[in-house]
Amino acid sequence: MDRTYNVYIDNGLFVVANLLNIKIENITIENLKENTGLFADKIYEFITCNKYSQIGGMSFFNSAYSQPAFRNNRKEKIKEQYDIIMSNTGEDEYCCLCGKKHIKYNKDKEYIKKLNRAFIINGVADSFYNHSNNLQTINVCPSCILLGMLSTLNMRKSGYIVLYNSESDDFMYDLTNERQIQNLNDIVSDLKFDDKAKNTVNLQDEILHFILEKTIHKNNLKVYKFSNGKTEFYDEKFLKTSDLELFNDIYVEDLLHEFNEYYLFNNLLQGNLKYIYTSKLIDFKKDELKCSKELIKFLEGRLNRLSKELNEIIKKISEGISDINNKDCLLELKSVSSYNKFIELILRWVEIYKNKQEKDLITSEEFDLLTNRMKYVSIKNKMIFELILNK
């Protein structure tokens, strides 16, 4: 089978590959049909382990994983559900997720009756009308539904449920293998010690582990947080290779503790670190740094990469503004909220400087370079950096 890059289907695919000890491309529909008993056993052990007990209800709510009526025969009901799903494989319609013609046009009544939004996370709206009818309006094949449910074995809890996906097959094989070993160890420990520790992972620590142990920073990484329980939540974040390399280098430069002190990892994850770090690291009212020079120099150098010529112009105008004792220049620059406001501020500074020094602060050619719309945020950040250093 091929990857779809849907986080649930891909994780399920690597789970099956791990359990059957085969490559993902060698997985067949028959493999899925013939091993529903094995899959049910593994899922049952996982969701009845104290450490992972909340994941079944938060992921596939109202499935056999969590229905109270199945408390005494849950394993059998999980297998039954898998069998019902796979028995409706056909060749009539194409799946909108994997693109394969694996859907039966005339679905069995039991299949329609048993399915609802729980089986396709973030694929079917949770609306007032019948979930089963809603499901039929989205062509998702039985294989994709089952693989999505099996992704449970790669899930962890961090407030919401967390799943990862990467275009790197090697990373996904490695991550899945690590998850299954950890699952087994936790299940065994659960039996021996009745350990009720919550299954809570620290996203930052885990991603740092991926970087250091699995070299994920050579590839992109998607981080998914969701809940598909009584209330729904879905969020995905995309960490580019450059983001992961930055985080790795922060660790290497021994700046991680200070980076965490200002909660900047969350901004890295949100994708707005470049736009927010100066506000967190500088006290603009006092015109002073809150953090060490080492941290802000590191971030400035990595987040605002500009040409040597443009850096020289920024340094020149920053020194000029500092020379005329414009006490509010940092606060004024921080308050700039748009490119047009930025140009207005630069023109005003140029005028103030000329009136006081009786000479031009910058040339018209330098002004053109300084007001590059595409580099506006980096130029603004670099100017803030230079002004704070000149205080």
Of 383, 382, 217, nearest to 305 by C-alpha is 382
Residues in contact with 276: Cβ distance below 8 Å, sequence separation at least 6, in sequence order = 267
State the DSSP string of 117-186. GGGSTTTS---SS-HHHHHHTS---HHHHHHHHHGGGG-EEESEEEEEE-S-HHHHHHHHHHHHHHHHHH
**Mean pLDDT throughout 37-51?**
93
Question: Which residue matches tokens 């140009």?
Answer: 343
- pLDDT value of residue 131: 44
- pLDDT value of residue 110: 67
Give the chain's radius of gyration (CA, Å).
27
Contact 46, 187 (CB under 8 A): yes
335 or 218: whose pLDDT is higher? 335
pLDDT at 128 over 90: no
What pairs with residue 234 in β-bridges? 226
Contact 60, 228 (CB under 8 A): yes
**Environment class of residue 83 by beta-carbon count within 10 Å: exposed (0-12), middle (13-18) or buried (19+)?**
middle
Q: What percent of the chain has pLDDT over 70?
A: 88
Backbone angles phi, psi at 176, to 5 degrees: -65, -40
Pairing of strands 232-239, 282-283: unpaired
- pLDDT value of residue 125: 46
Q: What angle do CA 113, 118, 124 make, to 5 degrees?
A: 95
Give the burial string for 312-324 (b: 16+ CB within 10 Å, else e).
ebbbebbebbbee
The first and second tokens of residue 80, run together, are: 């039954």
- pLDDT value of residue 43: 96
Please state the domain extents for the chain.
7-200, 303-389
Of 239, 371, 272, nearest to 313 by C-alpha is 371
The CA distance from 388 to 337, in Å, is 19
232 or 73: whose pLDDT is higher? 73
Q: Kindly give the residue spans of alpha helices, DSSP state H, lying in 282-372.
A: 293-303, 308-323, 329-335, 339-357, 364-370
- pLDDT value of residue 63: 81
pLDDT at 65 over 90: no
pLDDT tens digits, 305-341: 999 999 999 999 998 888 776 668 888 899 999 999 9
Residue type, 291: C
What pairs with residue 299 in β-bridges? none
Backbone angles phi, psi at 346, to 5 degrees: -60, -45
Element (H, E) at 225: strand 221-228
